[in-house]
Every structure is written in C-alpha cells, then in structure tokens.
Amino acid sequence: MCAMPAAFRPSSVEPRSLDELTERFGLPAVAAPEVRLTGISLGSDATVPGDLFVALRGVRGHGAAYAAAAADRGAAAVLTDQEGAELAADAGLPIVIAASPRVLLGELAAWIYRTATERPLLLGVTGTNGKTSTTHLLGGILDQLGVPAGLSSTAERHVGAERRVAGLTTPEATELHALIARMREAGVQAAAIEVSAQGLSRHRLDGVHFDVAGFTNLSHDHLDDYADMEAYFAAKLPLFQPERSARGVVSLDTEWGARVVERAGVPVVTIAEGGRAAADWTVRVTEETREYTAFDLTAPSGAVLSTRIPILGAHMAANAGLAVAMLVEAGYEWDRLVEAIGGPAGIEARLPGRTELVSGPGAPSIYVDFGHSPHAFRETLAAVRKVATGKVIMVFGADGDRDTTKRADMARAAVDGSDILVITDHHPRFEDPAGIRATLLAAAKEAAPDHPLHEVGDPKQAIRLAVSLASPEDSILWAGPGHQNYRDIEGVRTPYSARHEARTALQEAGYQAAPPRDLSS
C-alpha cells in the first residue's frame, strides 16, 4: 500500500496563544491561558507537538474520534463542533467549539503560520485541463530567471530544490499554509499553485490571496461533484474576485474564458492560440516534433518571444504562453524573460506525466498522460497525430466512483483520434471494473462499429498488447495514469507506475526506453 506523502512544514513558528485564537475568531474562551500553538492539523497522523487539532465531521465518521491519538502525538488543543466536543471530551486537551470549523480552517491556518502578511509572490492556476502543466511551466521559467521558487501541483510540491510527491491537487488549508510558511522560511520569492474547483468550494484556498490568477479552459469533468457545467463554472469564479486575487490572465481558447472575463471582479488580460479569438496575448505554434513544440508569443505591445517547450502539442504551447503572460502581469520584465527563455533552448520545465515520452530512439513513441476528460483526449490525440509517422494506438480506462457522465464522451473522443483502441482498468475504487469497461466498450462500438478495439482489464497487460500491435513508426498514447504511482482498488492505494510499466513493456519487446525523469517515474 502507498503511504500518503509527508507534507512540508516550517521548521519554526512563533507561537500563538489559545486565548489569542478565541479572541481573534470570536469563539468561546477556554480556561487554558498557557496553551501555545505552533501548528495546525486535520488528521491525527499528521499532528506534531504544538498543533491545534481541528476535528471535522466526515463522510464515514467524525474526526474528533481521533482526538486522543492527536493528544498522544503532542496536540496542544482541539477545535471542533458541538458533536466533536462530546467525542473529544476524554482526550485531556482544551477544546474550542465553533459552529462551522471547516469555514474557519483557512483563516486559522493563515493566522497561525502568518501567511496572510508574510508570504512569497503567489501565482494560482485553475481550469479543467492544463493547470498542472502551466504550474510546472511557471516553476521552470522562475528557475530560469534565477528566482527562488516554490510549487504545488497535482503531481508534486517544491520548496526550492526540495521536491515531494503530492497528495490532493489542492492540499487542505492546514497543509497549504504550512507549505507557504516553509517556502517563506526557505527564501522562496515566488510560488505557482494549482487551484482546483473543489479546493475553492471546500475552503482549502481560504486565507490565500494570489498576486495573479490564471485560467486555462473549462470542459466536461467533475460532474460527480457539481450538478452541471454551470455549477462547475461557478465554482471557479471566486478565484477572480478581489478576495482571492489581485489580477488575472484568462485564456479564450474555450467559450468559458470570455465568461470569466465578463464576471471577473479584478483586472484581467486575455490570451488565445492564434486565430481562436481576439485577445491581448497571442500564441502561434511554429514547429511540432515528438520532443518539443516551438511557438511565438506576441505581447499586447506587439513584441514577440520565440521559444519552445520540451513536450508536444499546441495546447501545451498555449499553457506556456499563459505562464509567461502571468509572470509579466506579476511584474517580471519582458526583456528579462526573453533573455532567459527565448531562442532554441527555450523553457526547461519538467512536466511529470503530461504527454511524457517514455520511449527511446528506434522504438514506438509511447506517451503517458494524465488526461482524463473528453477535451483532454481530443487535444492530446490531435497533438500525437500531428507528429506521428504511423498508426496512433490509444490505451485508456476510466475512474471508478467519479463522474460517470463523461465516460461515453471519453470513449467517443478516443475512437475519433486513434487507429486502434485498448480499453483497460484505471482506478476502479469501489466500482466493478468490468462494468466501467463495458460502458466504455459500448460507447466506442456505437461511435465506430468497425474500429479496431481490444479489452484488457489488467493495465500491465494492456500496455504490452499495445506495444505488440505497434511498429517502430507508430505512436501509443496511454491516457489517465500520468505521474501517479498507485492504483486505487477498493480504497487501497496499490503501488503502480504506468511510466515504469511502459518502459518495461518496451524493453521486453526489445526496444530502448527513455530514462526516468522525476520522483515517481
């Protein structure tokens, strides 16, 4: 079983008193005037000495049931609701009661870690697809500028040169503020943070204010969490209000971008891939190969930056253009950016599991990608098709216990963009994987009855079948697993790396694989 990765924390925090906390947040006072708080945690297993343990009601129980375990790990006090107070009564800790502890969580964390006033420059990226890539492109460009940088994405967390595998896309507020405090402590000057709709809806971003917010796109996804696309769109909008950011950069490459501009409460500039929409910034792709994509970025002034990224796809060039525009909006000088990333060397960013080429010379081109929506499939398959010299073979599965309404569209997009399709399992979670595959197979057959189609439940065997069907000039896109190093099977995170399996499949077939490039390869 894969353990959850350790979170970053500052090595030292100036204590806050429990009395200060109750007064600051208007909560009932507790007779424990000498209690000092140096951190805040949600899970008992993440608690360290000096923490305020915040116990919330969850789907399967109440966190206050673990108050004694948090006390054993050194918690200094508990903050919970009335129900939780009764459960935590025997833990031997001072208890502060709040009507809605989760609503307070971000502001509490910001206050304890002092991140509201003492923090790096923050760049937040949201959207359905491309937010992880844009976040890593921001990190890579900051590195090239010589700026001490931090990063938080679906894939990784960075504090300067130190990197750790990530858990949630947007960490809980307790972890996020601790991360920002650790960045400040390490001398980080600017940080890129991936912002999910759920992170905004579930108060994980509370207490964080971004200097610049970026919007990539919106497409069909997460309708297990939101009633419809309008509700999903509405969940993104708070990022572009004064309470969350100072200004924004919005892509107009999907129709939702124009609606963000209309409803933004902060100043915004726009960007679009050449010809898609009239925008302040324009991205025009000039060359695409399996190793890189070159493009021109035209600024509002008419100045042009010619550069490239070490990954294929016009959609990735659009993400890079968004990253550059966000940095300009944040105050970084255009000439400095041109000097750092202009020319044939381009942007030196690592994008873990994003159309990542894992094959070597003379082998079929295998790309492992995190895309798991119909829009992502269409964009990535189009990018692979553009550089392919032979057939395009696609391997994919669908998440269990997640948005079921997109599965048929995913299958149709896969059929439309591939020559051969292999349907396999992904994260079945508590769903029957055969049932998930049956839905995908039915939709694929309905879309194209004669399309070459294979069903292989075990993804290890699915990628080996794909390699056996491929010639050296063919390309294979394995969509879904991306950077992840596990599969979720009945609630257990089973160690698993698609990139490792793809490399192994190539080697077993006598081909050369590319070496691993990052933490979870």
Structure tokens at 512: 């050369």
Q: Which superfamily is assigned to 16-101 in CATH?
A: MurE/MurF, N-terminal domain (3.40.1390.10)
pLDDT along the chain (521 residues), means of 10: 73 96 94 90 94 93 96 97 96 96 96 94 95 96 98 93 82 95 97 94 94 93 80 95 98 96 98 88 95 96 97 94 98 98 93 90 94 89 94 96 92 97 95 96 97 97 98 96 87 91 97 80 61
- pLDDT tens digits, residue range 217-249? 998 776 777 789 899 999 999 999 999 999 999
According to CATH, the topology of domain 356-508 is Protein-Tyrosine Phosphatase; Chain A (3.90.190)
* Contacts for 327 with CB less than 8 Å, ≥ 6 apart: 123, 138, 141, 142, 145, 337
Q: Are 193 and 123 in contact (CB under 8 A)?
A: yes
372 and 398 Cβ atoms separated by less than 8 Å: yes
According to DSSP, the β-strands at 486-489 and 492-495 are: antiparallel
Q: How far apart are CA 151 and CA 469, in angstroms?
A: 39
Q: What CATH fold (topology level) applies to the domain 121-341?
A: UDP-N-acetylmuramoyl-L-alanine:D-glutamate ligase (3.40.1190)
Apex 166 CA angle, 162 and 171, nearest 5: 110
Residue 453: in which H helix or E strand, if any? strand 453-455
**Strand ranges (E), 39-128:** 39-41, 51-54, 77-80, 95-97, 121-126
> Do 313 and 288 contact (CB within 8 A), yes or no?
yes
User: Residue 86: which H helix or E strand, with range?
Assistant: helix 82-87
pLDDT for the residue numbered 351: 87
Q: Are 369 and 353 in contact (CB under 8 A)?
A: yes
Q: What is the 3-state secondary structure (H, E, C) of 112-138?
A: HHCCCCCCCEEEEEECCCCHHHHHHHH
- Domain ranges for the chain: 16-101, 121-341, 356-508
> What's the pLDDT score for residue 519?
54
Q: How high is the pLDDT of residue 274?
A: 82
